[in-house]
Structure 1
Amino acid sequence: MAEGEVPAPPEGFKASNGRGPFSTVNGPIFHRLTDQHVQHAFFAEHRHTNGMGLVHGGMLTAFLDGLLAAAVFRGAERPAVTIHLSVDFLHMARTGEWVIGEARLTRATAEVAFAEGRAFVGTRDVVRATGVFKLMKPRLR
């Protein structure tokens, strides 16, 4: 498969559009919703890897940051920005694998929200994260 050529996403996932310039360059990112989680996925390409040929920790961190923020948006129904992100790297992801993440809102106050999530490849967890997010006022259009 040529670089930049992404196979069909896992069942139920659809391409995410309008994610902003950073995520667009690092994508494509796909999404689906379940009753309990927001789920995102990306196909690991060579451009996502470090010098050892493993998916770069920065890519995984950015992926989880966006995923947790999406869970906050879904649960709190407000946009949010990251205050704190804690990431634990558990295993490796490699080129040619689908990295799937799932996250959920765990708590929200009037101004701050908390979320947790994980990313996995097949049956192995690759990374887990928790985050604290500042809830923003919706933009007036």
Structure 2
Amino acid sequence: MTDDLLEERSISLPPGYQPMNWFHGFGRQIGPLYEKIGTDGSYTRAFLVQEHHTNGMGNCHGGMLMAFADMAFGHAVTMKTHRYWVTVRLLTDFLSGGKIGDWVEGNAEVVGVEDDFFTVKGRIWCADRTIMTGTAVFKALGERPAKKAASA
């Protein structure tokens, strides 16, 4: 079973990061995932490379990096429009790898909009080392529900 995949291993999160609320479906398989939202509307998503993220050589699996890039890059559409989205195209270049214990981060920016299609340019990195770059096209869908206010 995958219950152990979401167990926190008492990691100390970098300042500003909090766990993402994605514990079902595919998020349950690739998590835990984290995010940092800036007051200026910027964002960074992240994960700590753990054993279940690795391939047979002990490196972070390319499929994990692609899945992470998809949701890190696509979040640029959410931040700009507050809408759901689906991936139309995701093109990436692998430039380096990740090892167990690496803190991997990623984000993107919207560089083009036509109708409901958003083109983004993104980067995945670990410390000062770029792991992946890419571009993607996402189709924006319906409006996301407003976040509920915290109750006192």
TM > 0.5: yes
Structure 1 residue 138, shift from structure 2 partner:
2.8
Q: 2:20 aligns with which of 16, 36, 45?
A: 16
Structure 1 residue 104, shift from structure 2 partner:
1.6
5+ long unaligned stretches in structure 1: none
CA distance, structure 2, for counterparts of residue 48 and residue 84 of structure 1 = 23
2:122 maps to 1:134? no
- Taking only aligned residues, the RMSD between alpha carbons, in angstroms, comes to 1.9
Structure 1 match to 2:91: 86
2:109 maps to 1:104? yes
Q: 2:30 aligns with which of 26, 30, 39?
A: 26
Q: 1:73 aligns with which of 62, 74, 78?
A: 78
Max Rg structure: 2
Aligned residues between the structures:
138
2:43 maps to 1:38? yes
Cα deviation digits, residues 68-90 of structure 1 (max 9, x gap): 11111111221110000001100
Structure 1 residue 122, shift from structure 2 partner:
0.9
CA distance, structure 2, for counterparts of residue 13 and residue 30 of structure 1 = 6
Identity %: 33
Cα deviation digits, residues 56-101 of structure 1 (max 9, x gap): 0000000010011111111122111000000110001100111011
Structure 2 match to 1:113: 118
Greater RCO (Cα-Cα under 8 Å, separation 6 or more):
1
**TM-score, normalisation: structure 2:** 0.83
**TM-score, normalisation: structure 1:** 0.88
Aligned-partner residue type, residue 117 of structure 1: G
